[in-house]
């Protein structure tokens, strides 16, 4: 009892010390730019392994705190099938709720944690401070819309790759849509976990607007649907000329842009009446 308390205290102090050193080391040091913004899966991925979010949160406290408010983080505590007597989940269900999923159904960690979006973290954690940036994926820095949408769409999409319904070998930076044997399933509009299927049909996707242009992953404050801003403000960030009073004068007072352009939450972003929302 006494011993473990002591252990905890010294770990805490040590962590503080390490963080202080890291903070100093990080200031004023720019990582070389040669290997960032990869057009494909970066080479280090071939051998990188999954660590755990506790490691990431030691150095990235703010992201840890923001992430903890999200639905993604909630599965780190409890999986939908954790309840006693619950049915055994299908592989597709396990795949969508864990981080570092392996072909045999095992995984690194419960929930959609840091490495689910940033990729396996061993190389980043092991790298010297000055080059850390080259050994982790920042989704915002990926070059193509296909690479970016794949980070989220491997879970928020319905597809097949050969006879599989999941992308077991997915690596962050990979463009799923260009993967051999990849096919989007035909789906019913508005069903959950298929936002990728809907978005790829939109003008948004053609112009490079993807999930992370509208949603946050670890913002300091929790927001509805993990959106970057309230809906009207979010849309007007790009559609400056669309003012409710003139563009939609007859809309009910509580209407937002989504009322007409995202019926049932559909992510096709059509003009009303232009199909696909309904069939
Ligand atoms: C020992 C401290 C440390 C740990 C542990 C750590 N990081 Fe980092 N991370 C850093 C530093 C320092 C930077 C900034 C590097 C720079 O700007 O050159 C960074 C940068 C990043 C970036 C931004 C990269 C970019 O290109 O903008 C991401 C994303 C990231 N880390 C994710 C993670 C994840 C995920 C984990 C856990 C697997 C993790 N980090 C663990 C220290 C750490
Ligand atoms: C659902 C996907 C997702 C998860 C989960 C996630 N991130 Fe991120 N992270 C992103 C995206 C996307 C960006 C790019 C900036 C943005 O859009 O917020 C980012 C950016 C970062 C950065 C660069 C600095 C910044 O804030 O922009 C760091 C560091 C980072 N994440 C660390 C973490 C850590 C640590 C965790 C786990 C506690 C984590 N991320 C979980 C998607 C994710
Ligand atoms: C490993 C799988 C996985 C990845 C990767 C993933 N998600 Fe999720 N996400 C989920 C699951 C599962 C849920 C919960 C769905 C539910 O309960 O209906 C969810 C929920 C959400 C929600 C609803 C949040 C809320 O508060 O209601 C949003 C928005 C979201 N994800 C966006 C994203 C974005 C954007 C990315 C990429 C940056 C991403 N997700 C990456 C699996 C994933
Ligand atoms: C142009 C902005 C935009 C883009 C791009 C976008 N979303 Fe959304 N998303 C929204 C808005 C707005 C809502 C809320 C809709 C509503 O109120 O019905 C939403 C809702 C959601 C929800 C349901 C949240 C909940 O609480 O049930 C999920 C999950 C989601 N988005 C995931 C994604 C994923 C994954 C992508 C990329 C494939 C994506 N979104 C791209 C704006 C966007
Ligand atoms: C990051 C910038 C960005 C954001 C945020 C954004 N849009 Fe767009 N939107 C575009 C671009 C670019 C186009 C395509 C060019 C055009 O038609 O102006 C577009 C096109 C559209 C179209 C026309 C589609 C068509 O088939 O003609 C609609 C409708 C639309 N957006 C609705 C929304 C709504 C609703 C939101 C908020 C939930 C939103 N947009 C948020 C950039 C954005
Ligand atoms: C009451 C329903 C309604 C609401 C609310 C609404 N729209 Fe529209 N929107 C329409 C209709 C109908 C069209 C097609 C006719 C037209 O172009 O005006 C349209 C067209 C558009 C277009 C594509 C045409 C163009 O001029 O580029 C964009 C972009 C768009 N809306 C954005 C928005 C944004 C942003 C909001 C929120 C501020 C919003 N809409 C709110 C009904 C609505």
The pLDDT mean for the chain works out to 87
pLDDT by residue for the chain (279 residues), tens digit each?
333 433 443 433 334 334 433 333 333 233 333 334 446 799 999 999 999 999 999 999 999 999 999 999 999 999 999 999 999 999 999 999 999 999 999 999 999 999 999 999 999 999 999 999 999 999 999 999 999 999 999 999 999 999 999 999 999 999 999 999 999 999 999 999 999 999 999 999 999 999 999 999 999 999 999 999 999 999 999 999 999 999 999 999 999 999 999 999 999 999 998 865 443
Task: Decide if 214 is inside a domain.
Answer: yes
pLDDT tens for 173-214 read 999 999 999 999 999 999 999 999 999 999 999 999 999 999
Instruction: Give domain status of residue 233, yes or no.
Output: yes
Identify the residue whose C-alpha is closest to ligand 3 atom 31: 72
Query: CA-to-CA distance for 270 and 277, rounded, in angstroms?
Result: 7
Q: How far is the CA of 19 from the centre of ligand 4 (A)?
A: 35
Q: What six digits make up the tokens of 221?
A: 């404050």
Write the pLDDT tens digit of every residue in 46-83.
Answer: 999 999 999 999 999 999 999 999 999 999 999 999 99
**Nearest C-alpha to atom 36 of ligand 5 is from which residue?**
235
For the CA atoms of 242, 248, 254, 258, the dihedral, rounded to the nearest 10 degrees, stands at -60
Q: What is the pLDDT of residue 79?
A: 97
Atom 10, ligand 2: residue with shortest CA distance: 217
268 φψ region: left (φ > 0), alpha (ψ -120 to 50), beta (else) = alpha
**pLDDT of 9:** 37
Kindly state whether residue 216 falls inside one of the protein's structural domains: yes
pLDDT at 39: 60
pLDDT of residue 276: 53
pLDDT of residue 23: 36
Pocket of ligand 4 from Cβ distances under 6 Å: 149, 152-153, 156, 195-196, 199, 204, 209-211, 213-215, 225, 227, 231, 258, 262, 265, 267
10 falls within a domain: yes
The answer to whether residue 74 is domain-embedded is no
Dihedral Cα 154, 160, 161, 166, nearest 10 deg: 40
Residue 230 Cα to ligand 6 middle (Å) = 17
Q: Which of 199, 238, 268, 271 to mutate to test the pocket of ligand 5 (most atoms within 8 A of CB)?
A: 238
Domain assignment present for 75: no
**Would you say residue 53 lies in a domain?**
no
Give the bridge partners for 254, in sequence order.
Answer: none
Nearest ligand, CA 124: 1
The verdict on residue 106 lying in a domain is no
Q: Whole domain around residue 227: which residue ranges?
A: 198-265
Q: Is the CB of 57 under 6 A from ligand 1?
A: no
Number of domains in the chain: 2
């Amino acid at each position: 009892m006494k011993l473990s308390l002591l252990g905890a205290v010294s770990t805490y102090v040590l962590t503080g010390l390490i963080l202080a050193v890291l903070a100093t080391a990080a200031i004023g040091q720019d990582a070389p730019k040669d290997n960032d913004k990869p057009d494909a899966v970066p080479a280090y991925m071939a051998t990188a392994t999954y660590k755990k979010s506790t490691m990431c949160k030691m150095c990235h406290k703010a992201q840890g705190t923001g992430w903890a408010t999200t639905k993604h983080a909630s599965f780190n505590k409890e999986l939908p099938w954790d309840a006693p007597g619950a049915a055994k989940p299908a592989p597709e269900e396990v795949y969508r709720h864990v981080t570092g999923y392996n072909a045999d159904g095992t995984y690194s960690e419960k929930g959609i944690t840091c490495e689910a979006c940033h990729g396996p973290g061993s190389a980043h954690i092991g790298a010297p401070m000055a080059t850390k940036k080259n050994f982790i994926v920042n989704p915002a820095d990926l070059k193509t819309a296909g690479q970016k949408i794949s980070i989220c769409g491997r879970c928020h999409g319905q597809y097949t790759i050969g006879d599989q319904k999941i992308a077991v070998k997915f690596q962050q930076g990979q463009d799923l849509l260009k993967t051999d044997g990849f096919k989007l399933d035909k789906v019913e509009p508005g069903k959950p976990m298929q936002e990728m299927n809907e978005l790829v049909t939109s003008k948004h996707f053609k112009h490079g607007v993807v999930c992370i242009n509208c949603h946050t992953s670890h913002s300091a404050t929790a927001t509805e649907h993990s959106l970057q801003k309230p809906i009207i403000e979010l849309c007007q960030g790009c559609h400056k000329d669309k003012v409710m009073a003139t563009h939609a004068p007859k809309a009910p007072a509580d209407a937002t842009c989504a009322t007409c352009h995202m019926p049932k939450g559909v992510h096709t972003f059509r003009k009303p009446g232009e199909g696909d929302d309904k069939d």
